[in-house]
Amino acid sequence: MKFELLGTDGAARRGQLTTTHGVVQTPVFMPVGTQATVKALTPTDLESAGAEIILGNTYHLLLRPGPDVVRELGGLHRFMGWSGAILTDSGGFQVFSLAKTRTISDAGVEFRAPLDGVTRFLSPESVVDIQRALGSDISMPLDECLAYPATREATARSLARTLHWAARAREAHGARTDDQALFGIVQGGAYDDLRAEAVERTVALDFEGYAIGGMAVGEPKPTMLDLTATVAAALPRDRPRYLMGVGKPEDLVEGVARGVDMFDCVLPTRNARNGQAFTSTGPVTIKQARWTRDATPLDPACSCYTCRTFSRAYLRHLFVSEELLAYRLLTLHNVRFYLCLMAAMRASIEARAFAAFRRRFFSDYVSSDDRVC
């Protein structure tokens, strides 16, 4: 994997990530494909929406169909028919939030999966192995995910474990001659000094990119943004920076403003299935009766298939009728909206006009119908 920083505008960065599965323009949003599918979309839909990289979930794929099945079928790309890049998470976040019972030790995490009740064990080494079997372009090490708020003592203890695991993952993953990259994850909770320590000791392990973890876990938005700015500024300039699990459209703009290169979040896909569409003039709740006879598209500024073809009235009808097509069409639009927003940000950084873009976005997103893309 190769990362090139093409330009900057303030803290905002315009870059390019070259993987064995294509080039990814940054800042980038990565749609989440939990179970080897970005819910309701085909690989062709993702391409037409402009996706260059998507996420896969190690935890879910471990449980089903299992890394051995995926490897036997040619790896995750071939299994799901996606020829672009894939980043797999470590499964840590899901183990901490989804598993019924879990026991953490320095060795790793033992957990009982809700799906089959079977007890499994994840170590820093096994998480590397699983992601090798999946064959993703970018892999993540096992880390401990702490809830917010947490005491300084608990956060420091947790950080020590994450750093210990990071070193073991680095070791297990081996030299950087492989075609699969490994990122480091910066933890440290809401404590500036712990975050600073996390940056220093994680960077010392020399990863190919750095994620800012433990965000969007319940902390106030200003805290998240301040921590992001501090951590991003401390990270090496020549490596991509990935803000995990973030966020809303406005969070992406604020993240880019603070020097973040990569984002992922279930919001555009999950909210689509709940009937919320993101548009250039703000979110739309499609089930509202006000759209019953509305012949206009979801977002006149959008060029996706949904907006080119259907009215809000039709989308509302599909959604209230619980038709499968509703989830698909809204997902397609939301993913396209997120990817277009990133494209617009990239263009504004290239033009060294990011500050103006950011002002305009916040004005448009709540108050007008100006074109985002």
Q: Where do contacts with its own copies occur on this chain (CB under 8 A)? A: 35-37, 39-44, 64-65, 69, 72-74, 79-81, 292-293, 295, 305, 309-311, 313-314, 317-318, 320-321, 323-325, 327-329
- Which is nearer to its own copies, 40 or 340 (by Cβ)? 40
Tokens of 32: 């989440």
Query: Among residues 45, 261, 264, 364, which one is catalytic?
Result: 264
For residues 186 and 211, is the Cβ–Cβ distance under 8 A?
yes
Backbone angles phi, psi at 35, to 5 degrees: -105, 50
Backbone angles phi, psi at 313, to 5 degrees: -60, -45
| Whether residue 45 lies in the annotated active site | no
Helix/strand/coil (H/E/C) assignment for every residue in 16-84: EEEECCEEEEECEEEEEECCCCCCCCCHHHHHHHCCCEEEECHHHHHHCCCHHHHHHCCHHHHHHCCCC
> What gap in Å lies between CA 277 and CA 268, rounded to an integer?
8
- Which is nearer to its own copies, 39 or 161 (by Cβ)? 39
Bridge-based pairing state of the strands 276-277 and 262-265 = unpaired
Phi-psi map region of 9: left, alpha, beta (phi>0 left; psi -120 to 50 alpha): beta
- Which is nearer to its own copies, 153 or 308 (by Cβ)? 308
CA distances from 187 to 1, 134, 199, 205, 225 (A): 23, 25, 8, 14, 15
| Whether residue 89 lies in the annotated active site | yes
| 303-341: burial string, b at 16+ Cβ within 10 Å, e else | ebbbbeebbbebbbbbbbeeeeebbbbbbbbbbbbbbbb
- Which is nearer to its own copies, 77 or 346 (by Cβ)? 77
For residues 36 and 61, is the Cβ–Cβ distance under 8 A?
yes
CA distances from 253 to 26, 64, 247 (A): 13, 35, 10
Active site residues: 89, 264
